[in-house]
Amino acid sequence: MSLDEKVAQMSGIWNDKDATLVDPKTGAFDIVKARSSFGHGHGLGQVGRPSDAGATLEAPEDGQDARSQAELTNAIQRFFVEESRLGIPVIFHEECLHGQAAPGGTSFPQPIALGATFDPELVERLYTMTAKEAGLRGTHQALTPVVDVARDPRWGRVEETFGEDPFLVSQLGVAAVKGFQGDGTFKNKDRVIATLKHFAAHGQPEGGMNCAPVNVSERELREVFLRPFKAAIDVGCLSVMASYNEIDGVPSHANSWLLRDVLRKEWGFEGFVVSDYYAIWELTDRPDTHGHHVAADKKEAAALAVRAGVNIELPEQDCYRHLRELVESGVITEAEIDELVRPMLEAKFRLGLFDDPFVDPDAAEAFVGSAPNRALAREAGQKSIVLLKNDQGVLPIDLDITRKIAVIGPNADRSLLGGYSGTPPVDVSVLEGIRAYVGTRAEVLTAEGCRITIGGAWNLDDVELPKPGDERELIQQAVRVAEDADLIVLALGGNEQTAREAWSRVHMGDRTKLDLVGAQKELVAAMLATGKPIVVLLFNGRPLAIPEIAATVPAIVECFYLGQETGHAVADVLFGDVNPSGKLPISIPRSAGHLPSFYNHKPSARRGYLFDDATALYPFGFGLSYTDFEISDARVRSPEIEIGDATSVLVEVTNTGQRVGTETIQLYIRDIVSSVTRPVKELKGFCKVTLGAGETTTVELPITESSLAFWRIDKSFGVEPGDFELMVGTSSRDQDLTRLNLRVTD
């Protein structure tokens, strides 16, 4: 390969495909543009998001459907195979956060909702289906999963994560990688390369502001933020995306300790590192968002990224345009380029692109958005729902006595997909789902009640808040509707504009407060004044502080974002066809002033506040059911073990209620005395069990050496002898846990 051909493999295009590969109006391949732009024959590394060819920010649905994307990727692929000197195929990457973000793609619940399932098997099935939908359309790499540990709810990207706990995030991240990559052979074009992001520590930015510095020690970095990445690398994940933030003054895209010493040398990673979009540019200064100022210009930024080990620059040919010049001037060597290109070529061979890089448009059209995919989306939505409160037996709703239901609120009849969403084949609102469920058995009334924002979308910059006078009128209309109903379903929370990725100075999504935006509190008060029973449904990308609602409303359901089947999944739970089984993957704080609120804090934290409670409003792992479970006869199989040995905790779980239900038994561990401070409890195991009324089963949760190990005072990873407290139960809350003892000896 010539130097130019190697450099071409280290570059991608995304927005520039309008100018270089496709007709921007139709998204169709343009051979004249392609020959004009790539007639040099050097080839190209990647093409980003072919599904959005022909789309605009205002009309993302104008992109490529399954058939047209397959045809487009085939045409682009044929050009690079036939009209570059070496015929090296390109990799097409797509956003697949919760289904491929494309026209017609099945839209599953957001990862924060999937975190609430505590169900790795479901997550693996879901991403297996996502991989097949994407792969049949011509995609080879998914810029997913996000395995950031979310430790600041002010951050607008919480919805993209599996939650606040490193063990849970690790388990679900591994499941996602297995779903995307399968056995890693990529034989049937129904699997894609998974991309772990954002490496590393993106989930606890200073002030909760996206891309801000992350101020953590190396020990905390390793124990909290790196753990999910290591777990996913261990099962063969082939790609990693570096993060926008800095750690200890070093931006990740220039951090050779992170990308070379830890990722490659310590962990044995043999895949390739992709840059986050425009992040190499940000090593110098990117005026529309921010800059790290560790490079004087884009040329220096490119050199820093190469030395750190960033294999390819995404999304456009930008800083890496200077690589030839940097080699010729001796700043970097061609051997350094070779080292970075090699794993990307290996990936293309592994994908089978040199043998057959084309896909079948008929197969794509038949499978994408099909009935089995829709059924899985509905199942995932059902299992993501968390019941937070159910006083007075309000839920499930009994249609024999409830003849009129008022479905009210700003999220009652709104698309609620969250960020990085395409245009799914269906998108069922809460109102639509309830109407479809009840049919003629009850009358469904509706009113908007108030608005969170006026119109708008996740990808559009401007966020317009409603006028208070208009909101008062909407609330009065809602009261008139509610007074005529037997029960009120109140759909509140946030929307895609109030919690989202803040990617520029004019596109914000992080917040200083966690309370409900707009007149939602006033709407709740007005509904309570009617005296009617109320069920509050919360839809949001981040935890919201709702102390007043928690104190006054009898039934509260946390939904996060449930995907295209939102309305159906909600109705299935509200009317009792499905017993809710979700558990909070992230603590719900009492206010922003209570942050941090994550459960696995150190012993000296959370001592208390003057005039306030220091605990979470609803803790990690919490979630109710329509039935009751009893945990009994907790015991340790071997209460004294030597370092290196294993044991387990066993409990009897009984469904003491009147209906089938699913409970998640959780195991937490605390090292009582240690060489460095340890959290008061850490999740180390969980198991979901489904039991009929009166049924009992034995649950066994293993404890291995890794369950007890930590980064000791000498920064070695291992187990210290001594006493450990084991806690087993139904949430991280102390009153939900039974405590046992374990002794570990040399």
Question: Residue length, the chain?
Answer: 746
Say if residue 178's pLDDT is above 90.
yes
Helix boundaries (H) for 455-558:
468-482, 520-529, 547-552
Look at residue 631 in the predicted model and tell me its pLDDT.
97
Residue 720 DSSP symbol: -
Phi (first) and psi of residue 649, to 5 degrees: -105, 135
Q: How far is Cα 532 from Cα 538, in angstroms, rounded to an integer? A: 19
| Same domain membership, residue 403 and residue 304 | no
Give the torsion through C-alpha atoms of 227, 229, 234, 240, to 10 deg: -160
User: Which of the listed residues 342, 367, 392 is the one where a domain comes to its end?
Assistant: 367
Name beta bridge partners: 408. Answer: 447, 490
Quick check: is 377 in a domain? no
Give me the residue label for tokens 């387990």.
648
Quick check: is 612 in a domain? no
Residues 202-256 pLDDT 10s: 999 999 999 999 999 999 999 999 999 999 999 999 999 999 999 999 999 999 9
Residue 417 DSSP symbol: -
Residues 439-454 pLDDT 10s: 999 999 999 999 999 9
Which two tokens mark 326? 């940097």
User: Which of the listed residues 336, 367, 398 is the one where a domain comes to its end?
Assistant: 367
| Same domain membership, residue 572 and residue 671 | no
Name beta bridge partners: 609. Answer: 612
Give me the residue label for tokens 């996206």.
210
Look at residue 518 in the predicted model and tell me its pLDDT.
95
Mean pLDDT of 522-545: 98
| Same domain membership, residue 504 and residue 568 | yes
Quick check: is 606 in a domain? no
CATH of the domain at 90: 3.20.20.300
| Same domain membership, residue 558 and residue 510 | yes
Report the relative pairing of strands 272-274 and 250-251 from DSSP bridges.
unpaired
Quick check: is 485 in a domain? yes
Residues 7-44 pLDDT 10s: 999 999 999 999 999 999 999 999 999 999 999 999 99
| Same domain membership, residue 404 and residue 363 | no
CATH of the domain at 654: 2.60.40.10
Active-site residues: which are they? 276
User: Which of the listed residues 594, 621, 650 is the one where a domain comes to its end?
Assistant: 594
Say if residue 487's pLDDT is above 90.
yes
Q: How far is Cα 371 from Cα 208, in angstroms, rounded to an integer? A: 40
| Same domain membership, residue 582 and residue 651 | no
Look at residue 58 in the predicted model and tell me its pLDDT.
87
| Identity of the amino acid at 293 | H
Say if residue 456's pLDDT is above 90.
no
Q: Compute the mean pLDDT over every residue in the chain, rounded to the nearest whole number.
A: 97
CATH of the domain at 461: 3.40.50.1700
E strands of 656-707, at which residues?
661-671, 682-691, 696-703
Residues 603-637 pLDDT 10s: 999 999 999 999 999 999 999 999 999 999 999 99
**DSSP-based helix, strand, coil % in the chain, nearest 5:** 30, 20, 45
Intra-chain end-to-end CA distance of the chain, in Å: 56
| Same domain membership, residue 485 and residue 433 | yes
Q: What is the pTM of this model?
A: 0.97
Q: Domain span at residue 239?
A: 3-367
Say if residue 57's pLDDT is above 90.
no
Quick check: is 110 in a domain? yes
Say if residue 194's pLDDT is above 90.
yes
Q: How far is Cα 117 from Cα 127, in angstroms, rounded to an integer? A: 14
Give me the residue label for tokens 């001594």.
722
Residues 336-370 pLDDT 10s: 999 999 999 999 999 999 999 999 999 999 999 99
Mean pLDDT of 291-297: 98
Q: How many domains does the chain have?
A: 3
Q: Which H helix or E strand runs over 629?
A: strand 629-636
Q: How far is Cα 737 from Cα 631, in angstroms, rounded to an integer? A: 9
Quick check: is 619 in a domain? no
E strands of 71-167, at which residues?
91-94, 141-142
Q: How far is Cα 391 from Cα 589, in angstroms, rounded to an integer? A: 21
Quick check: is 599 in a domain? no
| Same domain membership, residue 281 and residue 182 | yes
Quick check: is 467 in a domain? yes
Supply the DSSP string of 164-199, one letter for each residue. S-HHHHHHHHHHHHHHHHTTS---SS---EEEEEEE
| Same domain membership, residue 391 and residue 313 | no
| Same domain membership, residue 249 and residue 150 | yes
Q: In what order do the strands lie in the sheet with 443-447?
A: 386-390, 555-558, 534-539, 487-493, 404-408, 443-447
Say if residue 378's pLDDT is above 90.
yes
| Same domain membership, residue 416 and residue 286 | no
Instruction: Please choose, from the candidates 110, 57, 159, the residue with its C-alpha nearest in 3D space to the C-alpha of residue 461.
Output: 57
| Same domain membership, residue 425 and residue 325 | no
